[in-house]
Chain A
Amino acid sequence: MFLSLREIKKSKFRYSLICLVIVMIAYLIFILTALANGLSEANRQAIDSWNAEKIVLNSDANGSLDQSTITAQQAKKASADKRADITQMSANVQTLSEGNKVGSQVIGLNKKQFIYRDLKIVKGHNFTNDNEVVVDQSLLETDGYHLGEKVKFSRNGHVFKIVGTVKNNQLNVAPVIYATNDAVQTEKFGTDMNHTISAMIYRSDVKKAVDGTQIMNIEDFIQDIPGYSAQNSTFEFMIAFLLLITLVVISIFLYVLTMQKIPYFAVLKVQGVSNGYLAINVISNALILSIVGVVISGLLTFLTSISMPAAVPMTFDITLMGAVAVMVILMSIIGGLIPMRTVAKIDPAKAMGGS
């Protein structure tokens, strides 16, 4: 530390430059992490909020809620233990004047079952009849809807009133709108397919599937959301690659610096300073650089998070960010180990002039 701090103080410019590079890379990593996290949540928030274990879909639906139908007979035969029936419909919500269309996920619920009972209403109240809906808060915050507003899902569709909101309830990156199963079924199929739901959600461990249905773990179901896994692995790849870039940048920089310091390290070796002390010097240079870099980029990320409009799907999770910060610092330590061999091999005779 002693040597490192003074060295950095004397060569402010070159250390500032490299620190700037680390700040930029770390900032990019932070933002990508927040975006990955935010997008991943926007895909699954609603399902997470149900706190469920299993989902039962039509066995021909290929794990897709959109394509699944469960008939009234199938539903009747299935286990009723801790079960909630849902009817899903992808639809554009719009105001009565047909303005402000927003792609949404409409989910029909049964008022006697747990999803409805456990809805955490943040504004207004839960819906009580077939003419009312509860919507994800983002519809109010970013799309200009308001409590009490009358909405519909198609030109001549039924008119619903927004009576309440829930927080963090998106599905497939669209706001969720909760209504009664009956209302959604009528919107979706007309009156002739009453009582056909999309899926049964379980908080218990259902074992036996009724004919024509398939039981899935909720986590597997989420992994099968179109694009979900691909998106996550793309982000993971980018972040891993950026960490690798951090490692390479820091090790190249420290290597070049170490090469430049060979004559001085040689003097110290003549004076009997151990390889260990010099090694610690290189590592602490790396540590100081990366810690300062991470702190600055952390502050930038924080400023970004408070100035980012709500519509941008970014979630700044402290634990996740902390883990990322530790990774960046870890990379710098590994980067600091690369010039170690050079340090160990410096010949003190180099300091003594002459041939």
Chain B
Amino acid sequence: MRKIELTNVNKVFGDKMATTTALEDINFSANSGEVIAITGPSGSGKSTFMKILGGILSATSGGINIDGSDYGNMNKKQQSKFRLEHIGFILQVYNLLPYLKVSDQFKLADKVKKSKNIGTETFSKWARALKIDDLMNNYPDELSGGQQQRVAILRALYTNPDIILADEPTAALDGNMAVKSMQMLQDLAHRENKTVIIITHDARLLKYVDKNYRIVDGKGQFIDVNNAELV
């Protein structure tokens, strides 16, 4: 089932004096149950692509359709509400609030989204899998970068989103943990029919994705998943 569709999306930064075309004529689609890797050299437009996908940035032109609704043309408030209910973000930096204990990071999610979050059983299972179940009483500054990132992964999954957008979620993780969280995301996509879109530089992770969308100089195309040299 078609979940996300970007048609002829362009993104130009800057004013009349100096402009950067970050994305050029992007056509992209993702189905439910798919894991898609976004690859490409640094500065090619991957993060910009992800921001537009999540409604964090608006496109200069083009259409963004999610679940059959015109997401690109919603107002900020509607997009924010849509994100809360349907999208889980895993960011590169600043994922956690420094003044909340790990357990409170999840409680906060319960405060802002009161229903349809994952159950306590699933929560415990995933917390154990990500090896953060013993960290619930710690503040983020008491955790290693990897631990923080794993908490952020679970925080993104906590609201039970049907779309998961991740910008290099495994960069701070050791190889073992990176593979493990990737397997978890894959499992989630395949078994619960979620859409996982993930920016990565890590060739080993391509084993767990269904498609590879490569962006170079703002232009994107799906390429062979096994073409690992191009990561």
Contacts and interface: CB of A to CB of B under 8 A. Distances in A.
Contacts of B91: 267, 270, 351-353
3 residue pairs, one from A and one from B, having the closest CB atoms: A272-B84, A272-B83, A10-B99
Given A6-B99, A270-B89, A348 B94 contact: no
Interface in B80-138: 80-85, 87, 89, 91-101, 104, 107-109, 111-113
Nearest to B20: A355
Contacts of B82: 272
Interface string B6-49: 00000000000000000000000000000000000000000100
Interface residues of B, number: 36
Nearest to B48: A354
B94 A264 contact: yes
B54 interface: yes
A280 B167 CA distance: 30
B98 A272 contact: no
Nearest to B141: A10
A27 B54 CA distance: 50
Main secondary structure of the interface of A (DSSP, over half): helix
B112 A353 contact: no
Interface of A: 2-3, 6-7, 9-11, 263-264, 266-275, 277, 348-349, 351-354
A352 to B, nearest CB: 6
B139 interface: yes
Contact of A349 (B56, B80, B112, B139): B56
Contacts of A277: 111-112
20 contacts: A2-B104, A3-B97, A3-B99, A6-B99, A263-B94, A264-B94, A267-B91, A267-B97, A269-B80, A270-B91, A271-B83, A271-B159, A272-B83, A274-B77, A275-B77, A275-B80, A351-B94, A352-B50, A352-B92, A353-B167
Contacts of A9: 99
B81 to A, nearest CB: 7
Given A10-B99, A353-B93, A273 B112 contact: yes
A264 B98 contact: yes
A6 B94 contact: no
A353 B92 contact: yes
Interface centre among A6, A271, A273, A351 (most CB of B within 10 A): A271
